[in-house]
Structure 1
Amino acid sequence: MRFSSVSGPFCQPCGTSIFRDLSGKTLWQGWWSPLSLVLFTPATLIVNRVALARLNKLPPPIPGQPGPQLMLGVPVLRRLSSLAAVVPLVWAIWMIARIANGTA
């Protein structure tokens, strides 16, 4: 298990780009232990979403600002890595259905 974070002064597009990258990695790599499946991955995704809400309140970058700006990239739910989230979702639905039918 590994937790990653990125800190620093970000403009809105750079912060959004980092949010998308880290959330995509969380969706792909975050589900592979039982504790992560139930606790850590959902909590991490919620924390990432709260950080994105704060980033969205930042003003857009000023033209001529020093340093390169990151490309926004593809939105999180349109990335191939987000399909990995379907596996635990299907498992959870299967388990709930078994419990509801009394076969668990």
Structure 2
Amino acid sequence: MTFRLHQGVLVLMRFHKVEGPFCRGCGTTYFRELTARTLWQGWWSPLSLVLFTPGTLIANRLALAKVNRLPEPSGGHARPQTGAPVLRRATSLAVLLPVAWVIWVIANIINDVTS
């Protein structure tokens, strides 16, 4: 499985991925960490906002679906720490900024059309 991270930096972009055979707990950990970082750092360039960040989030969600089908680890292995869910992390709240911007743009377009 592969989990991805996308960072948009005005006109530049960075991509990172973590590949490997993951157990259920490790896969969940990578999903939560990389998805939360993408929500915080992924939308800072225009192309990232409309194409790469949503694509990365979808790809990570599809990989998580595969991880969730795995059985819980058994045997003498310690259960990995998965951390807080994605939307309960402070960095994930940064996704509200582009959402607010889109709402503002749509509201102004509607206002211009109706006036």
How far did 1:95 drift? 0.6
Q: Percent identity?
A: 60
Query: C-alpha separation between the residues in 1 aligned to 2:65 and 2:26?
Result: 14
Higher strand share: 2
Q: Structure 2 length normalisation: TM-score?
A: 0.83
Unaligned ranges ≥5, structure 1: none
2:57 is the counterpart of 1:26: no
What is the root-mean-square deviation of aligned Cα atoms in Å? 1.3
Give CA-to-partner distance per residue, 1:66-88, whole Å, 9 cap, x none. xx653110000000011110000
Query: C-alpha separation between the residues in 1 aligned to 2:104 and 2:27?
Result: 36
- Structure with more relative contact order (C-alpha pairs < 8 Å, separation 6 or more): 1
1:52 corresponds in structure 2 to 64
The one-letter code sitting in structure 2 at the alignment partner of 1:63 is G
Q: Structure 1 length normalisation: TM-score?
A: 0.91
Give CA-to-partner distance per residue, 1:11-61, whole Å, 9 cap, x none. 101100000000011011101101111111111111111111111001111
2:105 is the counterpart of 1:95: yes
How far did 1:63 drift? 2.1
Matching residue within 19, 25, 37 for 2:49: 37
2:28 is the counterpart of 1:16: yes
